[in-house]
Amino acid sequence: MSYRMSASDLRMGPGHFLTGLRNDDSLLRQVFFSILRHHHPNLAAKVDVIYALSQAWCTSQSDSDFELLVKYVSDLKPEERILVASSFSHMLNLHNLTEEVNSSQIGRAVRLGEMDSPTRDTNHSLLKLTTVNGLSPQQVYDSLCSQTVELVLTAHPTQALRASLLKKYAIVRRELDTLHSKRMSEYEKIETLESIRAAVQAAWRTDEIRRSKPTPQDEMRGGLAYFSTVIFDVVPVFHRRVDTALEKLGLPRLPLDRMLFKFGSWMGGDRDGNPNVTADTTRDVVVLARLEAVNAYFKQVEGLMFDLSMWRCSPELKELAQRIAAAESRDAVRVAEERKRRNYADFWAPIPATEPFRVVLSHMRDRLYNTRQVLHQCLIHPALSVRAALREAGAYEDAEDMARPLQLMYDSLVATGDESVAHARLLDLLRQIRTFGLSMMALDIRQESARHTEVMDAVTRYLGLGAYAGWDEGRRLAFLLEQLQGKRPLMPPGMDMSPEEREVVATFRMLSELPADSLGAYIISMAKTASDVLAVVLLQRETGVRPALRVVPLFETLDDLHNAPATISTLLANDWYRNHINGVQECMIGYSDSGKDAGRLAAAWALYETQEKLVAVAREYGVRLVLFHGRGGTVGRGGGPTHMAIRSQPAGTINGHLRVTVQGEIIEQQFGEKEVCFRTLDLYTSAVLEAALDPPPAPRAEWRALMGQLAADSCDTYRSVVYGTPDFYEYFMQSTAASELGRLNIGSRPSSRKQGGIETLRAIPWIFAWTQQRLHLPVWLGIGEALEAAFSKGHQPVLQDMYANWPFFTSTLDLVEMVLAKADARLSAFYERTLVEPRLAHLGERLRSLLANTQSNILIVVRKSALLEGNTPSQMSTPNLDEKIRLRSPYVAPLNVLQALSLRGLRRFREQGGDGVEYNPSDPEIIDLLSRDPKASRWRAAGAAAGGEGGAQQPQQPQHPYQAAMDDCLMITIKGIAAGMQNTG
């Protein structure tokens, strides 16, 4: 007697986080709408209709709905377009933070054990590795103790939101979170909602277009704020949590001198194509960062002075305390006077030796105060050499000076049986000192190889040795090695150079005066040959940079990547060089540029192979290779979920040591709040731990061959389309906002080198432009055809096998799939219909069919019938990803429509020089709206058009209101769409 099964189909669990997401979403939307209605009632109704139409289209995907939406939006008056664009941009940002709140709700639920965790946290990994993989706890412990993750913060080239908007959204996020997690009385609830409303209101009334370019120091401050308000405090909390988890496994705590994290930064050190990062800039940021560190330690030491009020201590500490107390009591009056002058919060009078901890701590406080004074002087007097200034004033120059007495206190407390006091704030401080040192973070310097070649050229000419720039690689190498092994100075003082060359040399000199622990690596972008590296080694010696910075070549283009192994082995073949780097060579690989000229797949594969070859080359010479990963923000630039990214590295490239950049808006997402920062550290730690102990399987030979084939085919298609198709460039410039991007002062560096075709465009604007018009071409172009070719050779099952079992291939395709899920051919076609001359239209069709083709071929490989359908292991986050994308698209679509229309308006306006549009609002409210740009009133400057002027064309004075409106609308849509395309946590 047989009967049929029926799966009851009402699963519970994370779904109610989905409703949680929806409730927050609708709460914030209500708040926003009630503010909108309050200020612009008639506009609110229009936004409502547009949202409804956009939603209808997003769900039905029918042409009629789309046309309805377009028609409605086109009827908006210029000033309405601005406000509508602004409304959707705000709603989108509000929606994004409900996603963030929702995921930290999930994080909390996981911690409180109310649900099992979707992503990996360290605790979970510890358990998994010991129970599932059958490793002994001791093995896991040893691996944990020998790993470090180095996070390098870089500027936000596309940081969309202004700091002040960021702050307001942070308030909304915090209050929303409080609403969920704290029990409050009716009044507290009312006041919380009022402050949410106040923040949203304030955000809405703020001009969201940044009207002036931020200086590198501004960027640096933004970055620094993350350290002082979040990272500095979370790192010890995280170490403590790891200790607790280790204890539960019966393992000892992390040893005191083993730190799981180190931090670096490019802000103020990265001068690649960024002329206003000068030697002084670098000095400023170093001083500022040290100031930040000193302030943070000052507070901790003052806190410890209250905590460690006990009189028992070890003999060593007693001896130190008495020495200090004796010295102070010799002239007690002067000491008390001085402390009064410094306006310390407490403990003016010299402290008696019966409180040994305080005696030592108050001495440390004085030295910290002095350190701060010196650094302050350095800020005021740019001529002061920082290193020298620190030495004279008895300031702290070396982190160990601070750690030693604290270590002594720690040992003393342990010796007298006061462990639990030792493991409180004192332990935190020791860990902070070992993580952040006195510099808070290590600053990397990045410069383009060509600039050093010019300097060398100027030198060899001056010395009459010929033109270095004209020598071939062989001769350069011989020359450089000869100089490096010799002792003769090369650069006579006061030799005449161009301003650019002088700036390069000035930077080197500056590096020689800055404290070494504030500096990280010297990165050569566009590194092509071994001489690029040796030139920098030589220049450092010539300018007296001691200890020299490790020189890290960054191989960016495909060609440079392909012969990176040869370049490195040339270097390592040289005995002098090998012991100069004493056994460690670091290389940086990022592929934004290689992605631009070969397409994503070829770039990813080139990257993968290069890493393997570099590892092999290094192993050949018995040198340890450190790979520095430049990870982009948006997927286009190599972003995407961290855990998966780490697992997909070839074996042997990470082994317990990860150095990676955190850029773009990722910083705000990963370090914006303590809760989020905690999770970030958790994620990296467990990812690296697992990569070390549970490494991914190595790829099989036939996979390699096939992958190589895919890379070659996709590259050919990519190039034939981008570089081989005549009028592709024209199509690109007409159908995207690429030409207007320059004016979007985001980030402190200009967007293109000189004039002419695609190859002159920098990778970031290239990718950004395609993201804006939703074709995302650079990510997928060529992949479809490469797969097709493979299918025709019957490799389909192999490809499916590769996807299922090779993390590299998995994550490469997943990222493309994720982008395809955000691509929208229909909207892209709309851009074309609105902006491109009909004679180029055939090109659009082709691109869209290539897109559709890529999509269906990828679906075959990943064995899905729809994009993102049902999760594979890497996109597992609740509520799942395509749900998130779907919740957002009704907000983004109207922004795309508005953008295309504004671009058309602006270009028509420029062509006909403005007649034909009679838009002359008289309502003062609107006039204000259109004149929020303070610069709109500067006078024509003299001289030829120079490159360094940041790309604004010559506006006629005063700007025509129609143009101002379309300009603002364009800027707002660009930010909005960027916010819509980013993928949160």
Rounded to the nearest whole angstrom, what is the least distance from the CB of residue 80 to a second copy in the complex? 17
Pairwise CA distance, residues 379 & 291, whole Å: 10
- When binding is defined by CB under 8 A, the residue of 63, 67, 142, 188 that contacts a second copy is 188
Length of the chain: 985
Classify burial at 11, counting beta carbons within 10 Å of its beta carbon; exposed 0-12, middle 13-18, buried 19 or more.
Answer: exposed
Q: Which one from 596, 613, 629, 795 is the annotated catalytic residue?
A: 596
- When binding is defined by CB under 8 A, the residue of 111, 826, 833, 907 that contacts a second copy is 111
Pairwise CA distance, residues 800 & 804, whole Å: 6
Rounded to the nearest whole angstrom, what is the least distance from the CB of residue 927 to a second copy in the complex? 12
Using CB under 8 A as the binding rule, whether residue 202 contacts a second copy is answered as yes
Contact call for residues 972 and 82 (beta carbons, < 8 A) = yes
Tokens of 701: 């030979």
Tokens of 105: 């709700």
Rounded to the nearest whole angstrom, what is the least distance from the CB of residue 405 to a second copy in the complex? 18
- When binding is defined by CB under 8 A, the residue of 14, 118, 275, 352 that contacts a second copy is 352
Query: What residues does 628 pair with on adjacent strands?
Result: 588, 659
Pairwise CA distance, residues 269 & 522, whole Å: 9
- When binding is defined by CB under 8 A, the residue of 307, 401, 542, 869 that contacts a second copy is 307
Pairwise CA distance, residues 537 & 863, whole Å: 51
Omega prior to 879 cis, within 30 of 0: yes
Rounded to the nearest whole angstrom, what is the least distance from the CB of residue 964 to a second copy in the complex? 13
Residue numbers 10-49 binding a second copy by CB under 8 A:
38-39
Phi, then psi, of 264 in degrees rounded to 5: -130, 175
Nearer to a second copy, 375 or 981 (CB): 375
Rounded to the nearest whole angstrom, what is the least distance from the CB of residue 744 to a second copy in the complex? 18
Residue numbers 128-167 binding a second copy by CB under 8 A:
162-165, 167
* Count of other CB atoms within 10 angstroms of residue 856: 12
Nearer to a second copy, 312 or 624 (CB): 312
Residue numbers 52-91 binding a second copy by CB under 8 A:
none
- When binding is defined by CB under 8 A, the residue of 67, 116, 142, 194 that contacts a second copy is 194
Contacting range for a second copy; rule: CB under 8 A; set: 76-84, 197-205, 673-681, 969-977: 197-205
Rounded to the nearest whole angstrom, what is the least distance from the CB of residue 460 to a second copy in the complex? 39
- When binding is defined by CB under 8 A, the residue of 25, 280, 302, 418 that contacts a second copy is 418
Residue numbers 219-238 binding a second copy by CB under 8 A:
221, 225
Residue numbers 838-857 binding a second copy by CB under 8 A:
none
- When binding is defined by CB under 8 A, the residue of 136, 181, 498, 953 that contacts a second copy is 181
* Alpha carbon 23 to chain centroid, angstroms: 30
Using CB under 8 A as the binding rule, whether residue 421 contacts a second copy is answered as yes
Residue numbers 916-955 binding a second copy by CB under 8 A:
928, 932-934
Rounded to the nearest whole angstrom, what is the least distance from the CB of residue 312 to a second copy in the complex? 6
Which runs of E-coded beta strand occur in 349-473?
442-448
Classified as helix, coil or strand, 661 is: strand
Residue numbers 320-349 binding a second copy by CB under 8 A:
340-341, 343, 345-346, 348-349
Q: What is the dihedral of CA 267, 272, 276, 279, to 10 degrees?
A: 70
- When binding is defined by CB under 8 A, the residue of 74, 146, 212, 856 that contacts a second copy is 212
Pairwise CA distance, residues 143 & 323, whole Å: 42
Residue numbers 259-288 binding a second copy by CB under 8 A:
288
Q: Which one from 46, 156, 643, 795 is the annotated catalytic residue?
A: 156
> Which residues touch 571 (CB under 8 Å, ≥6 apart)?
530, 533, 534, 577, 585
Rounded to the nearest whole angstrom, what is the least distance from the CB of residue 121 to a second copy in the complex? 11
Pairwise CA distance, residues 225 & 288, whole Å: 11
Nearer to a second copy, 231 or 456 (CB): 231
- When binding is defined by CB under 8 A, the residue of 131, 187, 486, 948 that contacts a second copy is 187
Contact call for residues 448 and 503 (beta carbons, < 8 A) = no
How many residues in the shown chain lie near a second copy by CB under 8 A?
A: 78
Rounded to the nearest whole angstrom, what is the least distance from the CB of residue 811 to a second copy in the complex? 31
- When binding is defined by CB under 8 A, the residue of 191, 837, 845, 949 that contacts a second copy is 191
Q: Which amino acid is at 2?
A: S
Rounded to the nearest whole angstrom, what is the least distance from the CB of residue 932 to a second copy in the complex? 5
Pairwise CA distance, residues 62 & 40, whole Å: 31
Pairwise CA distance, residues 762 & 768, whole Å: 10
Rounded to the nearest whole angstrom, what is the least distance from the CB of residue 934 to a second copy in the complex? 4
- When binding is defined by CB under 8 A, the residue of 25, 207, 694, 801 that contacts a second copy is 207
Residue numbers 370-389 binding a second copy by CB under 8 A:
376, 379-380
Nearer to a second copy, 205 or 487 (CB): 205
Q: Is 596 a catalytic residue?
A: yes
Pairwise CA distance, residues 734 & 714, whole Å: 25
- When binding is defined by CB under 8 A, the residue of 22, 29, 240, 562 that contacts a second copy is 240
Per-residue three-class SS string for 13-38: CCHHHHHHHHHHHHHHHHHHHHHHHH
Pairwise CA distance, residues 571 & 39, whole Å: 66
Residue numbers 535-594 binding a second copy by CB under 8 A:
none
Classified as helix, coil or strand, 980 is: helix
- When binding is defined by CB under 8 A, the residue of 2, 12, 75, 113 that contacts a second copy is 113
Contact call for residues 895 and 980 (beta carbons, < 8 A) = yes
Using CB under 8 A as the binding rule, whether residue 291 contacts a second copy is answered as yes
Between the alpha carbon of residue 257 and those of residues 145, 431, 547, the distances in Å are 10, 8, 23
- When binding is defined by CB under 8 A, the residue of 312, 578, 674, 719 that contacts a second copy is 312
Contacting range for a second copy; rule: CB under 8 A; set: 89-97, 215-223, 506-514, 772-780: 215-223
Contact call for residues 713 and 785 (beta carbons, < 8 A) = yes
Pairwise CA distance, residues 710 & 608, whole Å: 14
Nearer to a second copy, 204 or 522 (CB): 204
Contacting range for a second copy; rule: CB under 8 A; set: 175-183, 494-502, 645-653, 909-917: 175-183
Residue numbers 481-500 binding a second copy by CB under 8 A:
none
Contacting range for a second copy; rule: CB under 8 A; set: 180-188, 617-625, 658-666, 826-834: 180-188
Contact call for residues 99 and 985 (beta carbons, < 8 A) = yes
HSE, CB side, 13 Å, CA atoms: give it for residue 584. Answer: 10
Residue numbers 597-626 binding a second copy by CB under 8 A:
none
Nearer to a second copy, 161 or 527 (CB): 161
Q: Scan for tokens 């851009």, then name that residue.
A: 831
**Rounded (5°) CA angle 121-589-619:** 90
Rounded to the nearest whole angstrom, what is the least distance from the CB of residue 385 to a second copy in the complex? 19
Phi, then psi, of 442 in degrees rounded to 5: -95, 125
Contact call for residues 811 and 647 (beta carbons, < 8 A) = yes
- When binding is defined by CB under 8 A, the residue of 206, 912, 937, 956 that contacts a second copy is 206
- Pairing state between β 519-525 and 442-448: parallel
Rounded to the nearest whole angstrom, what is the least distance from the CB of residue 938 to a second copy in the complex? 12
Nearer to a second copy, 86 or 983 (CB): 86
CA neighbor of 664 nearest in space, from 697, 694, 630:
630
CA neighbor of 760 nearest in space, from 805, 723, 804:
723
Nearer to a second copy, 225 or 798 (CB): 225
CA neighbor of 166 nearest in space, from 650, 669, 525, 577:
669
- When binding is defined by CB under 8 A, the residue of 217, 557, 709, 725 that contacts a second copy is 217
Residues noted as catalytic: 156, 596
